[in-house]
Each structure stands twice: as C-alpha cells, then as structure tokens.
A = this chain, B = another copy of it.
Amino acid sequence: MTTKDVRLANEAWEALYRSMMTIARELKAGDVWEDLLESEYGVLYAMSTAPAGLRLVDLAGDVLISQPGLSRLIGRMEERGLVMREDDPDDGRACRIRLTDKGAGLQRRVGAAHARHVTAEMTCRLDSQQLQQLRDLCRLMLEPTPPQTTARP
C-alpha cells in the first residue's frame, strides 16, 4: 500500500463525505417534510416498498438508528397515526409494522416533493453521464464485501 494510495483513498472518502453531507443539508432545509424527521421518512419510505409489513429488525437495517431508537420512533409514529403495530402471526416475539392510509398518503406526498428536490440538487451539479457514473460507483461500494475484516481477536 503506497502513500499515494492512502492519500487517494482518503481524498475520495472526504469528497464522498462532504458532497453527501452538503446535499443532505440542502434537502433537509427544503420545505417538504411536514413535521417528519429524516428517520421517520426513512421508515415511511422503507415501508412503502413492503405492503406486507416489516418487523423492527428488518427496518433497522434500512433506518440508520439503533434498535431501541427505532422502537421509540415507531411508537411516536403510531401515536400520530402513521403506522400500526400488529402481532406477528408467525413469531410471538415480533410485531409487524404496517403503514396506515394516512401514513401511505404522507409518504406519497413527501416522497414526490422530495424526489423533485433531489432531482434539482443533483442535476444542477452533474450532467446525465456523470450522474450515471456516480450511481454506478456508489452501487459498487454497496455490494457485499468479502469478509476482509481487519484481524478480529
């Protein structure tokens, strides 16, 4: 591993970090969220793709907070009538989360506005070809990496 490689890897990471944070900040500032936290929208979005309902553990993979945090998050969303908890018929420990009509409607509204906002922020910075390159590179990074972990005890 040469010094140059280390430098490049760190430059790439810093650029990735800053660009993502910059866009995220812009998006967050947008007037689109209707009293929804970022993680709350994450839940709505994840569930809009899973009409059968999801368990907390399944959601925990998508939403970037801890499991206890997610539990409370769902609790708040339940109080607001956005989701429902129901006992999992197959597993007495689990509960399935499902969108209410209100939650689904909110997801569609916010999701549509958000998508427009994303489009504006991305296309004003990169053209189609660059967007495609960026998407492909980032997807490459998301592929499961072989367990090349650094020396576990």
Contact, CB under 8 Å: B22 / A20 = no
- Once the chains are docked, how many angstroms separate the CA of A12 from the CA of B92? 39
- Once the chains are docked, how many angstroms separate the CA of A115 from the CA of B143? 22
Contact, CB under 8 Å: A137 / B141 = no
Nearest-neighbour CB distance to chain B for A153, whole angstroms, equals 11
User: 21 A-B pairs, CB-CB below 8 angstroms?
Assistant: A8-B128, A8-B131, A9-B122, A10-B118, A11-B135, A12-B131, A12-B132, A12-B135, A12-B138, A15-B139, A17-B20, A17-B24, A18-B138, A19-B141, A20-B21, A20-B138, A124-B145, A125-B141, A125-B145, A133-B133, A134-B138
Contact, CB under 8 Å: B124 / A148 = yes
Q: Which residue in chain B gives the minimum CB-CB distance to A118?
A: B13
| Copies of the protein in its oligomer | 2
Interface of chain A: mostly helix, strand, loop or mixed: helix
Contact, CB under 8 Å: A16 / B23 = yes
Among A137, A140, A148, max chain B CB count under 10 A is at A137
A: contact size bracket: 35 or more
Residues from chain B with Cβ under 8 Å of A123 in the complex:
1, 5, 9
- Once the chains are docked, how many angstroms separate the CA of A124 from the CA of B150? 11
Residues from chain B with Cβ under 8 Å of A120 in the complex:
150
Q: Which residue in chain B gives the minimum CB-CB distance to A13?
A: B118
Contact of A19 among B11, B142, B148 (CB under 8 A): B142
